[in-house]
Amino acid sequence: MSFRLSVTSALVACALVAIFPSASLSAPVAGAPEFGYEALNGPTRWAQLSSEFRTCDTGRQQSPVNLNPSDVKTNVFPTDFALPSFNQFEVENKGHTIQFTPKDGNSRGMTVDGSKFTLQQFHIHTPSEHRIAGKHMAAEIHLVHESADKKVSVVGVMVEETPQDNPLWSAALSNLPAEPEAKVALNAVLDTSEFVNVTKSSVFTYMGSLTTPPCSEGVRWFIPATTVKMSIKQLDTFVSMIGYSARPTMFNENVKEPTKKAAAKKEGGAAKKEGGANAREGAAGGSNGAKKSVERGAAAGGNGNGAAKQPCPPGANNNNGGGQQNGRVTAVEEDEEDEE
């Protein structure tokens, strides 16, 4: 087994211990308690916060889901997908996500099942909400589209962490609102070529729901199989503001989830090779593993010269061999899966 120091690992550690009609982009339900990802207002409590959120518990086509690599498809993404680069948008810190709403008047959208969908906003979740063969990515960006008759289609772009900054994101990250509910007008260019390029590859598509309350169903999802890139530093800009913000994978009668057996078969060759390497490294494993656990805690909690980051929902307890203990994030296997 291999462990990796990363924003993804810290957030997945939290995921292991903190969880468990036609859609439209309606305004927040008046008087409803604010949902979140903590113990008292997290995903397992959403249906109890408001009668308008009952679908979060009773729905049969919920999102996100654990995607099966064998279900990836080609030539299914809308060919008229239009996403010119942004040069003016409103950025809002919603407490549980950072949302970007275009304000430059450019037309962005796509045709899905014969209906024209227009981009309304895009926002980010850390870590990714969807999983592929049980694996999270560092983050997931949702480009939310709506049709004239209020149907919703979402392009969910997975974000992979890299050591180097992605210059395409530099301007957009330069002036994010740090406080919840704060908004800023941002006149900066966000090059969308990466988004467009990933949609030209194979994609996953299925009918699901909104991943936040009211969890309305009837949402057409497109998840490109390739990723966009952000550095750990850039990702931490988001994590420091919104922390853990991913709903766990849900039941969806339209999706057949991958089994552990299928995932093991797919990765069998790599596992054998890794096993040999682990055997050779056995002598060094103890001290090296301890060092990585400490480093991982530092990566999630800060460098010792500033306030510790809080990527986990407060109050999470660790009973699974990994996660948050006394404010430190311990090592968690990257490819951990839920029991089938």
- Cα 59 to Cα 144, 209, 250, 287, distances in angstroms: 20, 9, 9, 47
- The backbone region for 262, taken as left when phi is positive above 0, alpha when psi lies in -120 to 50, beta otherwise, is alpha
Contacts of 79 (CB under 8 A, 6+ apart): none
DSSP β-bridge partners for residue 147: 117
Contacts of 56 (CB under 8 A, 6+ apart): 43, 46, 47, 62, 213, 214, 215
The first and second tokens of residue 44, run together, are 């397992």
Catalytic residue among 96, 125, 130, 145: 96
Of 237, 278, 284, nearest to 126 by C-alpha is 237
The first and second tokens of residue 239, run together, are 């994590």
- Euclidean distance between CA atoms 15 and 106, whole angstroms: 37
User: Which amino acid belongs to residue 255?
Assistant: V
How big is the chain, counted in residues? 340
The first and second tokens of residue 131, run together, are 């999983």
The first and second tokens of residue 271, run together, are 């596992």
HSE value, Cβ hemisphere, 13 Å, CA-based, for 255:
31
HSE value, Cβ hemisphere, 13 Å, CA-based, for 108:
23
Q: Is 96 a catalytic residue?
A: yes
Catalytic residues: 96
